[in-house]
């Protein structure tokens, strides 16, 4: 039985073979706010560079990041520049969010602790992007929303930070799933995975060494898919992820000194966070409904409290969910990176 009085409880769960070798059983910490996890990454990352779409975008689509601090923002309103009511998971991971206190640090200093890594964040993510707009036959791919391919090109052109202490985070876009239009097209699904592989290889060729590759999250469980064919959506997510599972081995084969940590978002969202919702969010946790409508929390969400909700809108997480995903990713970074191939 876990207690909120503990820094972190522990739930024993079998982690997918993607994350570690299939013969291993691992434990993940169940943290209830934003405490210091029990382990820390072996590499002291000083920089985080993020590539993706609206799950990580901190203001590019709206013309700039928020000027207000997360700590003073209204949790019932969409946080400026984000598709959520607070910072995104890479902000929680990298820098000072001004949100969710660490009890020991607050008692000693009266302040919120920095992001888990306390690193500089370069956020290239752009809302509405896919990995490569050309995969889905979208209009002029040279214009916004800038694809992950373009984000990588812009980051390389600007010059990459020190390779040894920089972490490159790739989080597949919702558009990579919705763009498939429930057609179960194996060629398009393979192209999505190949796009992320080529993007990571491009960064590695430019000197990048440390990577996080997240898989597609279970979009079929998002509130906006309630009236869709969720079985087909689940199959598409699984097909794209099957291709993504092979990416770390390809990067390792071409760049043997690289490190890749894989974050299986189906496991994290469905089998870890949702399965332990009462522990993570508290009594009355809502993992089904969207908290907001039109950028403002509904009356029901305001009454219950936004931090009891997993989903902020149709497919984006609340600030609470983002903080949980950041904690899990931080924990993953303390584990041995992928050394594949998996057998």
Per-residue pLDDT tens digits of the chain, which is 343 residues long = 222 222 233 333 322 222 322 222 233 333 334 444 556 788 889 999 999 999 999 887 665 555 556 666 788 999 888 999 988 999 989 875 655 544 444 443 434 445 688 899 999 999 989 999 888 766 555 566 789 999 999 999 999 999 999 999 999 999 999 988 777 789 989 999 999 999 999 999 999 999 999 999 999 999 999 999 999 999 999 999 999 999 999 999 999 999 999 999 999 999 989 998 998 898 999 999 999 999 999 999 999 999 999 999 999 999 999 988 998 888 888 887 865 443 3
Residue 311, strand partner residues: 290, 317
The CA distance from 295 to 151, in Å, is 26
User: Is the distance from CB of 53 to CB of 145 less than 8 angstroms?
Assistant: yes
Q: What is the CATH number of the domain that holds 87?
A: 3.40.50.1110
pLDDT at 342: 35
Report if residue 116 sits inside a domain: yes
Report if residue 21 sits inside a domain: no
pLDDT at 95: 78
User: Is the distance from CB of 142 to CB of 188 less than 8 angstroms?
Assistant: no
pTM of the model: 0.85
- Return the sign of the alpha-carbon dihedral for residues 329, 330, 332, 333: positive
Report if residue 75 sits inside a domain: yes
Q: Which two tokens stand for residue 89?
A: 């998971």
The CA distance from 247 to 258, in Å, is 12
Question: Quick one: residue 98, left, alpha or beta (phi over 0 = left, psi -120 to 50 = alpha)?
Answer: left
User: Is the distance from CB of 81 to CB of 112 less than 8 angstroms?
Assistant: no
**Tally of CB atoms within 10 A around 162:** 10
Domain range enclosing 121: 42-333
The CA distance from 221 to 234, in Å, is 8
Report if residue 162 sits inside a domain: yes
Does residue 145 have a cis peptide bond before it, meaning omega lies within 30 degrees of 0?
yes
pLDDT at 300: 96
Report if residue 139 sits inside a domain: yes
User: For the purposes of burial, counting CB atoms within 10 Å of the CB of 203, is it exposed (0-12), middle (13-18) or buried (19 or more)?
Assistant: buried
Report if residue 138 sits inside a domain: yes
Report if residue 206 sits inside a domain: yes
Nearest to 169 by CA among 88, 105, 228, 74: 88
pLDDT at 340: 45
Report if residue 4 sits inside a domain: no
Tally the domains of the chain. Answer: 1
């Amino acid at each position: 039985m876990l207690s909120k009085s503990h820094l972190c409880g522990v739930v024993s769960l079998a982690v997918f073979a993607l994350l570690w070798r299939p013969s291993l059983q691992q434990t993940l910490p169940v943290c209830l706010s934003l405490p210091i996890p029990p382990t820390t990454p072996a590499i002291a990352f000083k920089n985080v560079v993020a590539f993706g779409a609206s799950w990580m975008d901190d203001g590019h689509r709206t013309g700039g990041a928020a000027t207000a601090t997360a700590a003073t923002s209204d949790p019932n309103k969409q946080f400026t520049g984000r598709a959520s009511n607070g910072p995104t998971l890479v902000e929680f991971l990298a820098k000072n969010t001004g949100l969710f206190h660490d009890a020991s640090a607050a008692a000693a200093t009266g302040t919120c602790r920095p992001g888990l890594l306390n690193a500089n964040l370069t956020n290239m993510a752009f809302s509405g992007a896919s990995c490569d707009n050309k995969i889905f036959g979208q209009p002029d791919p040279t214009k916004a929303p800038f694809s992950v391919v373009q984000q990588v090109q812009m980051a390389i052109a600007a010059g990459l930070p020190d390779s040894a202490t920089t972490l490159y985070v790739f989080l597949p876009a919702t558009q990579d799933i919705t763009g498939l239009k429930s057609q179960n097209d194996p060629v398009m699904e393979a192209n999505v995975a190949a796009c992320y592989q080529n993007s990571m290889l491009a960064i590695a060729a430019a000197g990048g060494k440390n990577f996080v590759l997240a898989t597609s999250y279970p979009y079929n469980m998002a509130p906006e898919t309630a009236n869709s064919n969720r079985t087909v959506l689940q199959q598409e997510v699984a097909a794209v992820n099957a291709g993504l599972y092979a990416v770390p081995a390809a990067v390792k084969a071409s760049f043997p000194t690289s490190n890749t940590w894989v974050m299986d978002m189906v496991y994290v969202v469905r089998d870890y966070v949702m399965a332990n919702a009462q522990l993570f969010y508290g009594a009355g946790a809502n993992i089904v409904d969207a908290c907001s409508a039109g950028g403002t929390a509904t009356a029901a969400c305001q009454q219950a409290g936004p931090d009891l909700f997993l989903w902020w809108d149709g497919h984006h997480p609340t600030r609470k969910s983002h903080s949980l995903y950041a904690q899990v990713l931080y924990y993953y970074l303390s584990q041995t990176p992928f050394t594949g191939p998996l057998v």
